[in-house]
Structure 1
Amino acid sequence: RPLQIICNLCHQVRGRLKDEVEGMRMTHPNFKPGLVVLQVGDREDSNLYISMKLKAAAEIGISAVHVKLPRTATENEVMRRVMEVNEDSKIHGLIVQLPLDSVHTINTERIINSVAPEKDVDGLTCINAGKLARGDLGDCFIPCTPNGCMELIKQTGVSLAGKRAVVIGRSKIVGAPMHDLLLWNHATVLTCHSKTADLASEVGKADILVTGIGKPEMVRGEWLKDGAIVIDCGINTITDSSRPSGKRIVGDVHYDSAKDKAAFITPVPGGVGPMTVAMLMQNTVLSAKHFLQAQEPGKWNINYTNLNLQRPVPSDVTISRSCVPKPIECLAEEVGLFSDEVELYGRTKAKVQLKTIDRLQAQPDGKYVVVTGITPTPLGEGKSTTTIGLVQALGAHLKLNAFACVRQPSQGPTFGIKGGAAGGGYSQVIPMEEFNLHLTGDIHAITAANNLVAAAIDARMFHEATQSDKALFNRLVPMTGGQRKFSPVQINRLEKQGIKKTDPSTLTEEEITRFVRLDIDPESITWQRVLDTNDRFLRKITIGQSPTEKGFTRTVTFDLILLAGNGPTLAFTFHCFLIGHVTDTKAELDLICKLAKEAGAFDAVHCSHWADGGAGAADLARAVQKAADLPNSFKFLYDIELPIVDKIRIIAQKIYGADDIELLPEAQHKVDLYSKQGFASLPICMAKTHLSLSHDAEKKGVPTGFVLPIRDIRASVGAGFLYPLVGTMPTIPGLPTRPCFYDIDLDTESGEVHGLF
């Protein structure tokens, strides 16, 4: 059989990969596979290999970045760079160029195994090596050199099944993975090394020989079996006076003598080396494909836990503590979040980074389901419980991607009479104590930020009241090195005021006044100042002026002393659900469902998720799913561009049955203010008593002939709506005679909070 030289396959592989990358760009125009080559030091051979990889990447369409650290880099510095790449969602492959050329001792194995397995396109981490050894070839990255060797062997057309293969060398990069790859392709494999007795005899039995020992021309042609396939991975330099450089590169096999015995052989250079680079590119493209597949809309791979239902239903806190929560990082992975998109707060809580929205821009939007209620009671009517139960049913029972969006409970209801807002029974957020109390601490941070703003404004008002414009300007923009200079924040403030100047000396007196003085209405500040000092304040608040306080007013004051010397929109498809009481009969429940449907509800179903978890809301979930599949006919009750007053009037007349509305002075002031500020086009969400369609809780049924008083209007600009306050409705509930906090206690030994429900 004539000798065949195995080479040039790499060009076919690169061409195929280039087509695949172009195909990705067709469906994802802004996407590009990303590769990072991390090098430590400046070895000449490493520089050569890296340049080959970067060239191949550019040819294929891969965005390759060469990160080069100096020889002084420490192990921790290298590790930090690896972690940065691991958490970069734009990078799909990371290779650590070996050897690590540092003046410091670096644990190479630790560095290699710190690479995220899903980005280990070199296939050298213990995870990928272990999967290869176990035969999980479809779930791992195969090291590039053995993978390239296998492709070269397959090019011969010779079946590996039953063939005797000999691998000389047992390195983690070539020999060991080559053995595993041949084995799982059904060859009978023998690995030889420096301690192997009678190496020539073993080589002579091989149908397939792969060498990777770094010994120039060690394997002689006379060792080979006639017709063998010879794959030479060796790269060795020997002296050759006939070459201008005085050196030439040879493999581990003596090529001239081997070509007379072998049927197939790879040249050195030009055989395995280019295929190694091609396989690196192939692994990178494969990793990028995995990334894109993870972004495609599809079912979350969630492992739902089974509920151990008890009868009678225990207390909420008992149920919460009986459930073992899944580690939050596991849940994040199951729903397709990346590690760098999740900020962990212990094992049960995490924040999702806002940048995740950018990554998911191309994803289709899901359905937005609002769980709401009417005629609320002081003890709550089950909105949170139903929200959790519905999501349990949609996810665990209907196998749909669904998540609940609930707010952190306020301290007032939690410590008052209503209790927490984590849901209840077998449809609750766990651990309920952490959810109801501190969660991630953001509320406390907001409180601190509000206090800081209050202190800053108070101090500024004092300084403005006691200094001239010139004195303020000199202190705000002081002379430094003989000149004044605005800070970036100050320039931004000037631009907001329409002053397009950057040189402090060019401001007019009127512009200086606008710059140094804040536009604050003192009437909106509740603090009363002691005139003689900036360090002692008298805060005076009168409590009980609301009509709901029944005339019981009281004045609260306190001093802070610095010691001397110390420094509605209506157009919804209604889905009614009923949460029953134990005394409810089937006939009663059926009647309510019938009446709700006759009144226009899309469906009405009985739910038992408090007692049965998601299974108890399965019918509700199916009803919601059907409604969500209907065409979207949402529209506002009014033209969103109408003036604020007109939108409120339309709601009052068409929904509540009022003859007209009456704007009290404060409400009229807010209308003028919000219109001036550009908020007039925001939709309206009315805040009024739930006990009547009118503003008077005593008027039941369908009252008529009344005028709806609007006492104030407030803005939730971030949420995107204005909310008028109707009549005397309070916005902050008071505490009852026997609030919940009477029963709340802390176990100082276990750290558990008792008394929550």
Structure 2
Amino acid sequence: MQSVSSDLDIARAASLKPIREIAREAGIHADWLEDYGRYKAKVNLDALHALADRPNGRYVVVTAVTPTPLGEGKTVATIGLSQALGAHLGQRAFACVRQPSMGPTFGIKGGAAGGGYSQAVPMEDFNLHLTGDIHAVTAANNLLAAAIDARMMHEHNYGERFTEITGQPHLDIDPDTITWNRVLDVNDRALRDIEISRDHETRRATRFDITVASEVMAVLALATDLADMRQRLGRIVVAQDRAGQAVTAEDLKVAGAMTVLLKDAIKPNLMQTLENTPVLVHAGPFGNIAHGNSSIIADRIALKLADYVITEAGFAADLGFEKFCHIKCRYSGLTPDAAVVVTTVRALKMHGGGPPVKPGRSLDPAYTRENLQLVDAGCANLAHHIGIVRRMGIPAVVAINRFTEDTDAEVQLVRERALAAGAHDAVEATHHAQGGAGAVTLGRAVMDACEQPNRFDFLYPLEMPIADKIRTIARRVYGASDISFSDKARQQLDRFEVLGFGDLPICMAKTHLSISHDPALKNVPADFVLPVRELRASVGAGFIYPLCGEMMTMPGLPSKPAFTNIDIDDQGQVIGLH
């Protein structure tokens, strides 16, 4: 296989088409477009109504094995597969992906536009600001936070005269019950726990979360139209009053203003791949904390225009895929036709007991020389994720992203183990080095999988008690023997049931580095109890999310952040972005 230039060099050398030409070829009417420069545009929601009567295309979700520091290439596979279908197999194809957070972009991961010859472009725009949607989410979130503290201050200052003076009811918020945090789209561990002043006499503890973990971001991703977003924002629960009743953004009279801040952010962003096939980039909820999927609106528009829509779910099948099924599909009413499970020989070697990988250090020979024993052991992780997909009733196709050092025997072993685990097919893919041409075999396998019988169904009904829904996911998705609740979590669970939140789906927040809650438990952990230390209610977004194990909702920067390599040259071009 040939060597590949840097992602930024490849992206910069691409021959891009004007975004209006991409739109025209994709069937997007010029009246639905709002240009943001020459190579990106927003698609307004008139498209939803104009296309409503068209049949949907095939719906394919891309997931993966448990992530490793080696990188499995899930976004690369999403873009590569859409290029194969759209530019090589004669199909109308869209990719629908999330907008990356600048936290990881400037932190440890770098950008998320794909890689090699399977990228969404312009790469710099994709990874930096795009059209400002994440900033709009940040502003809306923090407006609500400011409204809470201002309301408490004025009620305190005016006392019994508050309603007479303002014409608004006295909410009597209990400050000890406030769950709404401020957000920022930068990794900043110093803001995890802070103290703020409500007035000159009263201080309270609070925190910042990263924007893409916020409920407002989840609302943006799960809203089905502008009116639905307005209603969801109004339902956001921020605290309880001293009588124990929920206090919402609607009670604070701020949901309308939040909607105004998000009125442009709700429109998906149209971009293109290196092979000039269309990409809708929209919303960016984290996959280990939030539900980890791009927007329902983008998928709905794409499905009316395409034969195949390839969307990506964050992290592995135990996280983004499970939430795609139980949360996103529940609210969208859409049914996936097939799933792609991305893996690499290297990742399976690591799951099979390979030596640790240290950033900046050369790979151990275990990862660059044939080692069938490690691959075979690690295939247990792959089999588990195939099992999750099959449990949801969806055909699974395994994409083996091949590296130069992988041997034919190793790739063949992965294929055999995948088929034995119930995959519909398992094929090697070289889309990183060859673009869509390297994913043609994968594309044909996906097309065939979409023609297979589909028995998609949920693992739990919404009317099931909260604890039982959590237990179902823990046992049937993670393989846990049981769950345990802290005293705090048990009290929250009981309170949520009383407040009427019990019929919401579950959005598990746990590490992405293990199928379990513990990143130290590798491959396929067994006989573990999943600890739930806290529960939070995202009523506007429409889910309960249990925090399992040690979870950070505001990441920190590593010792050598990615931003140390990013600069601008004498011609004004970005350098060092990856």
TM range, smaller chain: 0.5 to 0.7
Are 2:462 and 2:503, in contact at CA under 8 Å, matched by a contact in 1? yes
- 1:337: how far off? 1.8
Structure 1: distance between partners of 2:19 and 2:422: 41
For the aligned residues, what is the CA RMSD? 2.8
Give the counterpart of 1:453 among 141, 144, 157. 144
Are 1:320 and 1:430, in contact at CA under 8 Å, matched by a contact in 2? yes
The one-letter code matched in structure 2 to 1:339 is A
Give the counterpart of 1:386 among 62, 65, 77. 77
Are 1:319 and 1:426, in contact at CA under 8 Å, matched by a contact in 2? yes
> Which residue is 1:517 aligned to?
171
Give 5+ residue unaligned stretches, structure 2: 180-193, 210-321, 326-390
Structure 1 residues 523 and 631: alpha-carbon distance in aligned structure 2, compared to 1, 3 A threshold: same
Structure 2: distance between partners of 1:672 and 1:589: 50
The one-letter code matched in structure 1 to 2:510 is K
Are 2:66 and 2:515, in contact at CA under 8 Å, matched by a contact in 1? no
Structure 1 residues 666 and 622: alpha-carbon distance in aligned structure 2, compared to 1, 3 A threshold: farther
Structure 1: distance between partners of 2:446 and 2:172: 51
Show CA shifts across 1:606-660 (max 9, x none). 0000000001111111111111112220011223321111111122233434332
The answer to whether the aligner puts 1:645 opposite 2:467 as a matched pair is yes
- 1:453: how far off? 2.3
Give the counterpart of 1:476 among 133, 155, 166. 166
Aligned length: 384
> Which residue is 1:313 aligned to?
4
Secondary structure of 1:662's counterpart equals: strand
Secondary structure of 1:368's counterpart equals: strand
Secondary structure of 1:467's counterpart equals: helix
- 1:420: how far off? 0.1
> Which residue is 2:106 aligned to?
415
- 1:708: how far off? 1.5
Give 5+ residue unaligned stretches, structure 1: 1-309, 478-489, 491-514, 544-567
- 1:403: how far off? 0.9
Give the counterpart of 2:413 among 591, 596, 602. 591
Show CA shifts across 1:131-160 (max 9, x none). xxxxxxxxxxxxxxxxxxxxxxxxxxxxxx
Structure 1: distance between partners of 2:501 and 2:437: 44
- 1:679: how far off? 4.0
The answer to whether the aligner puts 1:612 opposite 2:434 as a matched pair is yes
Are 2:566 and 2:577, in contact at CA under 8 Å, matched by a contact in 1? yes
Secondary structure of 2:60's counterpart equals: coil
Give the counterpart of 2:196 among 517, 521, 528. 528
- 1:666: how far off? 3.7
Show CA shifts across 1:88-110 (max 9, x none). xxxxxxxxxxxxxxxxxxxxxxx
Residue correspondence of structure 1 range 370-449 to structure 2 within 5 A: 370-378=61-69, 380-449=71-140
Structure 1: distance between partners of 2:2 and 2:527: 52
> Which residue is 2:331 aligned to?
none
Show CA shifts across 1:238-269 (max 9, x none). xxxxxxxxxxxxxxxxxxxxxxxxxxxxxxxx
TM-score, normalization by structure 2: 0.61
- 1:668: how far off? 2.9
Residue correspondence of structure 1 range 165-314 to structure 2 within 5 A: 311-314=2-5
Residue correspondence of structure 1 range 539-578 to structure 2 within 5 A: 568=322, 570-571=391-392, 572-578=394-400
The one-letter code matched in structure 1 to 2:42 is K
Give the counterpart of 1:750 among 555, 571, 577. 571
The one-letter code matched in structure 2 to 1:393 is A
The one-letter code matched in structure 2 to 1:516 is H
Are 1:374 and 1:690, in contact at CA under 8 Å, matched by a contact in 2? no
Secondary structure of 1:326's counterpart equals: coil
> Which residue is 1:29 aligned to?
none
Structure 1: distance between partners of 2:206 and 2:460: 43
The answer to whether the aligner puts 1:668 opposite 2:497 as a matched pair is no
Structure 1 residues 366 and 668: alpha-carbon distance in aligned structure 2, compared to 1, 3 A threshold: farther
> Which residue is 1:710 aligned to?
532
Show CA shifts across 1:374-405 (max 9, x none). 22124632111111001001111112122111
Structure 1 residues 651 and 542: alpha-carbon distance in aligned structure 2, compared to 1, 3 A threshold: closer
Structure 2: distance between partners of 1:583 and 1:731: 37
TM-score, normalization by structure 1: 0.47
Give the counterpart of 1:625 among 432, 443, 447. 447
Are 1:344 and 1:351, in contact at CA under 8 Å, matched by a contact in 2? yes
Show CA shifts across 1:455-483 (max 9, x none). 222222111111122x2123213xxxxxx
Larger RCO (alpha carbons 8 Å, 6+ apart): 2
Are 2:150 and 2:198, in contact at CA under 8 Å, matched by a contact in 1? no
Structure 2: distance between partners of 1:520 and 1:354: 39
The answer to whether the aligner puts 1:683 opposite 2:505 as a matched pair is yes
- 1:730: how far off? 3.2
Give the counterpart of 1:741 among 563, 567, 572. 563
The one-letter code matched in structure 2 to 1:708 is L
Give the counterpart of 2:40 among 349, 369, 379. 349
Structure 1: distance between partners of 2:123 and 2:106: 14
Are 1:379 and 1:418, in contact at CA under 8 Å, matched by a contact in 2? no
Structure 2: distance between partners of 1:520 and 1:341: 46
Are 1:688 and 1:726, in contact at CA under 8 Å, matched by a contact in 2? yes
- 1:723: how far off? 3.5
- 1:669: how far off? 4.2
Structure 1 residues 369 and 675: alpha-carbon distance in aligned structure 2, compared to 1, 3 A threshold: farther
Greater mean alpha carbon deviation, residues 626-635 or residues 515-524: 515-524
Are 2:149 and 2:198, in contact at CA under 8 Å, matched by a contact in 1? no
Structure 1 residues 368 and 586: alpha-carbon distance in aligned structure 2, compared to 1, 3 A threshold: same
Structure 1 residues 366 and 593: alpha-carbon distance in aligned structure 2, compared to 1, 3 A threshold: same
Secondary structure of 1:380's counterpart equals: coil
Aligned identity (percent) is 53
- 1:435: how far off? 0.6
